[in-house]
Amino acid sequence: MDELEKSDLILRELYNCRTDGKYHSISAICQALNIPLDSLLEMRDIVSNLKEDRFISAYFTINDYSAVLTSDGIEYFEGNF
Range of the structural domain that residue 9 is part of: 3-80
Q: E strands, the chain, where?
A: 24-25, 56-61, 64-69
pLDDT digits (tens, 9 = 90+) for 36-75: 999 999 999 999 999 999 999 999 998 999 999 999 999 9
pLDDT range class, residue 80, cuts 50, 70, 90: confident
Give the bridge partners for 69, in sequence order. Answer: 56
DSSP letter at 38 equals S
pLDDT digits (tens, 9 = 90+) for 29-42: 999 999 999 999 99
Chain CA centroid to CA 15, Å: 9
In the chain, how many domains are there? 1
Q: CATH number for the domain including 33? A: 1.10.10.10
DSSP letter at 69 equals E
